[in-house]
Amino acid sequence: MRLFEYQGKDLFSQYGIRIPTSYVAESLEEARKSASKLGYPVVLKSQLSVGGRGKAGAILKCNNEGELVGKFSYLLTKAVNGELPRGILVEEMVEIKKEFYLSLFLDRTKRSYSLLVSTEGGIEIEKAGNKTILNVPIDGISNQDAEDIGLQLGMSGNLLISFEDFAIKLSKLMVEKEAELAEVNPAALLNDGSLIALDAKVIIDDNSLFRHPELRKFQHVSELEAQAEKSGFTLVELEGDIAIIGNGAGLVMSTLDMVSEAGGKAGAFLDFGGSATTQTIYEAIKVISKIKRIEAVVVNLFGGIVKTNLVAQAIVDAYKNNLINVPVFARISGAESDKAKDLLMGSQAKLFDNIEDAITSAVDTVKGN
């Protein structure tokens, strides 16, 4: 999940990383109010999930309310790479002495983080000079490492102290929130010698999101997710092609982890909560059927009171009514499992005695093995 700039900055400020004061505005009225609280000049920044806003002209400075009116309306309807903004950040204009680039990213092959810093910020990092990279252990950067890298880049005095503090706070955020990337470009040096994050790009690992209920407010709720909620389900859409259906958040989450450990990519997870009936399972499949990228469904049901033949009936009905045409891999523990197996015989669904086998089959099928 890539956070919007304003969300990334929200996290930064929770970790004590300095950011300019700003407000998200979705209407001209809100923008006006925000700007008068901040005082002119202000900077307007389109909130997009794509990069390169500056180049695309989606960051505009306003010296007075007259300028704000025109520029705000322009930005609100201006698409960048086909994407319309999710609000406009109205931000205090700060005076910059110098711009730096700073990022921490997860290197999965090394099972560690890398810290990338350049004394040339505000431009694409590929084009920046005087940069250095440091391997950071998975539990975060040490004071010594932060100091060393600052010294390597020729920092001293207040800047060095500020840089160390900045890098350590960013690293703490990274570790605690299980981020894949935290990029600050630019980190701006102010006249008082301290660093401030002018921009924020934070990517949180989707597979660890369930450990962070505090980050849920940053999740964009799709129409389908909202619809599922109305039916009493919890649906989270992801990017992969395997859907996971189960009863109970813990069960569904651990299934999700197992799917990724088995080399699969979850495309959705759906928790239909407490009780499973033919009707609720059928509804759950109906929701999943609307996600076109799904190529296999893993059903993980647990509970002594769940009559598995009722669940099997829902799956059979879903095939009969052409609701789905992808294979279902089900592990259902509970009463009447013999009846369930008989029902599913000859359908595109397969019943398994344990979830590991169900997942392995699903992953193999999706990969075409």
Q: Please report how close the Cβ of residue 228 comes to ligand GDP at its closest, in angstroms.
A: 33
DSSP 134-164: EEE-TT---HHHHHHHHHHTT--HHHHHHHH
Please give the residue whose beta carbon sits closest to ligand GDP in the complex. 54
For ligand GDP, the closer of residues 184 and 294 by Cβ is 184
Name the pairing type of β-strands 328-332 and 296-301: parallel
State the Cα–Cα distance between residues 185 and 81, nearest whole angstrom.
20
- Closest to ligand GDP by CB, 55 vs 110, is 55
Distance CA 31, CA 24 (A): 8
Of 92 and 336, the one with the shorter C-beta distance to ligand GDP is 92
101 catalytic, yes or no? yes
As measured in angstroms, the least distance from the Cβ of 127 to ligand GDP is 13
Helix pair 28-38, 65-76: axis angle to 10 deg: 140
Residues in contact with ligand GDP by the rule CB under 6 A: 20, 43, 45, 51-54, 59, 93-94, 96, 99, 122, 185-186, 198-199
> Which residue type does 147 have?
E
Q: Does 91 participate in binding Mn ion (rule CB under 5 A)? A: no
Give the one residue of 118, 185, 260, 300 binding Mn ion; rule: CB under 5 A. Answer: 185
CA distance 333 to 350: 14
HSE (side-chain half, CA atoms, 13 Å) at 168: 15
Q: Which residues pair with 117 in a beta bridge?
A: 102, 132
**Tokens 């989707």 -> residue:** 206
Given the residues 183, 225, 237, 283, select the one marked as catalytic. 183
Give the C-alpha distances (Å, rounded to integers) separating 61 from 44, 65, 71, 341.
6, 11, 9, 66
Distance CA 100, CA 356 (A): 47
Using the rule CB under 5 A, which residue among 199, 241, 283, 295 binds Mn ion? 199
Cα 367 to Cα 299: distance, rounded to the nearest angstrom: 18
Min separation Cβ 162 and Mn ion, Å:
19
Q: Does 164 bind Mn ion (CB under 5 A)?
A: no
Q: How far is the CB of 167 from ligand GDP (least distance, A)?
A: 18
Is residue 90 within 8 Å of residue 25, measured between CB atoms?
yes
Closest-by-Cβ residue to Mn ion is 199
**Which listed option, Mn ion, ligand GDP, none, makes contact with residue 198 (CB within 5 to 8 Å by class)?**
ligand GDP
Largest CA distance in the chain: 76
Contact 175, 169 (CB under 8 A): no
Closest by CA to 21, choosing from 34, 2, 33, is 34
Binding partner of 53, given Mn ion, ligand GDP, none, CB within 5-8 angstroms per partner class? ligand GDP
82 or 368: whose CB is closer to ligand GDP? 82
CB of 206 to Mn ion, least distance (A): 23
Contact window for Mn ion (CB under 5 A) among 27-35, 59-67, 177-185, 281-289: 177-185
For ligand GDP, the closer CB: 48 or 297: 48
Under the binding rule (CB under 5 A), the answer on residue 118 touching Mn ion is no
- The binder of 224, among Mn ion, ligand GDP, none, by C-beta within 5 to 8 A per type, is none
Amino acid making up residue 160 = L
Counting residues that bind Mn ion (by CB under 5 A) gives: 2
User: DSSP secondary-structure letter at 215?
Assistant: G
List, edge to edge, every strand of the sheet that includes 234-237. Answer: 234-237, 266-271, 242-246, 296-301, 328-332, 349-352
Is 125 or 291 the residue whose CB approaches ligand GDP more closely?
A: 125
Marked catalytic residue, from 6, 23, 101, 319: 101
How far is C-alpha 25 from the geometric centre of its chain's CA atoms? 22
67 is catalytic: no
Nearest distance from residue 42's CB to ligand GDP, in Å? 8
Nearer to Mn ion, 100 or 269 (CB): 100
Give the shortest CB-13-to-Mn ion separation in angstroms: 17
Interacting residues with Mn ion (CB under 5 A): 185, 199
Q: Which residues are catalytic?
A: 101, 183
